[in-house]
Structure 1
Amino acid sequence: MTALPVGSLVTGTWWMTHRRLSALLRNPAVLVMTLAQPMIWLFLFGELFKRVVEIPGFGARSYLDYIVPGVVIMNAVSLNSFAGMATMDEIERGTLNRFLVTPVRRSAIANAGVVEQALGTAFQSLVIILLGWAAGAHYPGGPAGPAVLVAASVLIGVFLAALSNTLALLVRDRNTIIGLNVMLLLPLTFLSSAFMAKDLMPSWIRHVAAGNPVSWALDAARAALDDDPGWGTVASHGGWLLLLTAATVGLAIYSFRSYQKSQ
């Protein structure tokens, strides 16, 4: 059904986002409970591997300083990789089909998910940054550093959420979504600079990490958090990540059309 003029993109996005956030606010414990894993990463790994910085060439004053961006980005990855499960819930309840025959634009439905995921990711990223600071992490780049880190976490999170939603709309099978996400989660984590400096990685892992969007987010964030922020690195890696995120959001919107045609 063609969207009517009354279903403008801004208005539709507002109401669809309001609906999703209202449901989230009725169960805020979800956001708090999902912070348990990144807190384990932050404090357990931070203590367990703190002597790693003594290795020549590591390049960080403390492992806590190094691991905070890694935990923030990896939390965004794990938080958003299974976003398609919520889409599966709406498909199974018939909610999505009802929305697709209303004047609300498909892009507004997709945008509402993007906004919800972005806000949830930003909130958790900020909490982790503050916990790291309370534990003794330093952010010498000033407020701009943590701000770039939050922005990078939102971009990588939206990228993965859009990819997960696309998969849900095209495959419509929970087991497939879970299997593919589990298969991708560890490579995205450990074939990046989340927990180990690039200079200490084997050569082949460095080459793989160079094309890993998770490493793009980490490189942009760490460049902004440095004593002498590397804004060129922030712009280049952040720009590629932004383009990739925009492309996957567009793919998610297009997948609504494929889903609707199949009904």
Structure 2
Amino acid sequence: MTAVTVPGPAAARSGWFTQTGQVLRRWLIATLRQMWGPAMSLVQPVIWIVLFGTVFSSLGALPQFGTTGYIDYLVPGILMMTVLYSGAWAGTGYIDDIRSGVMDQYLTSPVPRTAIVTGQLAQQLIVGVAQSLVVLGIGWLAGARYPGGPGGLLVALGVATVLAMIFCCCSAAIALTSRSQIALISLSQLIVLPATFLSTTMMPASLLPDWVQAVARWNPMTWAVELGRGGQSGSYPDAAWGELGGLVLLAALAFFWAVRSIRSYQRSI
């Protein structure tokens, strides 16, 4: 991770957006120096789309999938899975900063705590959008089609970004609270796997057991996946506005938790 220079009096006079931009710039430079991380995170969606899409392609003949094939059904789910998994690891950057002493330098500077969180979050979301575009491209090459058009794809990307914000902020809060790489990894695995498989990511709700349907109905992953499918197909679910509102509310609460966690960390040192 790149070092950070403690801002002087000039930084105290600079605006919030300037300070946030400087934090973002640092994280983007670190990303460019370690591009293998974001690149390797795309291996999994390729496997999911190509392998699962091929193995379970016969499921597309079931009436629950309508007139679309399984690839068309699967791609929005893989899109949301990609940002979910990437977001769950976002807190590792904070743990690296804590171990290297960079976080202490940040907290002794006049940079607002919200700028520290927002700058790192913006970097994660930029990477997430790039990954999402690649996933949609891989899906198209695998045979998926997007009748919703460019506008629908923008909706899918926007929903994926909101979902990424939720898990990035939660991961940051867990990292700042536990200060442990092992704890972050363990909790991330404990959350992302149930969030994925207790949703409609892989299967329509009508093909799931009753108890899974009940859980999936209130799973934010289901909301994001269904909205993404609506954008891809151009036909949105009846509860689209409610699902979008729920995701936005969770994103706001997660951001508040991350900011609160960085302030709690500061009081503890």
Q: Which TM class, normalised by the smaller chain length?
A: over 0.9
Task: Tell me whether 1:113 sits opposite 2:130 in the alignment.
Answer: no
For 1:105 and 1:7, the matched residues in 2 are separated by: 11
Which of 150, 156, 174 is matched with 2:157 structurally? Answer: 150
Give 1:142 deviation, angstroms: 1.0
Instruction: Give the 5 Å matches for 1:7-22.
Output: 7-22=14-29
Task: Tell me whether 1:48 sits opposite 2:84 in the alignment.
Answer: no
Structure 2 equivalent of residue 123 of structure 1: 130
Structure 1 residues 178-203: Cα deviation after superposition (integer angstroms, max 9, x where no partner):
11111112101100111101111111
Which of 254, 259, 264 is matched with 1:253 structurally? Answer: 259
The answer to whether the 8 Å contact 1:60/1:66 transfers is no
Aligned residue pairs total: 260
For 1:139 and 1:163, the matched residues in 2 are separated by: 31
Measured on the aligned residues, the alpha-carbon RMSD in Å equals 1.6
What residue identity is the alignment partner of 1:246?
A
For 1:121 and 1:176, the matched residues in 2 are separated by: 23
Instruction: Give the 5 Å matches for 1:89-104.
Output: 89-104=96-111
The answer to whether the 8 Å contact 1:50/1:63 transfers is yes
Structure 1 equivalent of residue 241 of structure 2: 235
Which of 125, 132, 142 is matched with 2:139 structurally? Answer: 132
Give 1:128 deviation, angstroms: 0.8
TM-score (norm: length of structure 2) = 0.92
Structure 2 equivalent of residue 199 of structure 1: 206
TM-score (norm: length of structure 1) = 0.94
Which of 144, 149, 167 is matched with 1:160 structurally? Answer: 167
Structure 1 equivalent of residue 76 of structure 2: 69
After superposing the two structures, state which structure 1 stretch, 243-252 or 21-30, moved more: 21-30
Task: Tell me whether 1:210 sits opposite 2:221 in the alignment.
Answer: no
The answer to whether the 8 Å contact 2:230/2:237 transfers is yes
For 1:221 and 1:137, the matched residues in 2 are separated by: 13
What residue identity is the alignment partner of 1:179?
S
Structure 1 equivalent of residue 4 of structure 2: none
TM-aligned CA distance change 1:60 to 1:215, over 3 Å: farther
Percent same amino acid at aligned positions? 35
Give 1:27 deviation, angstroms: 2.3
SS in 2 for 1:57: helix
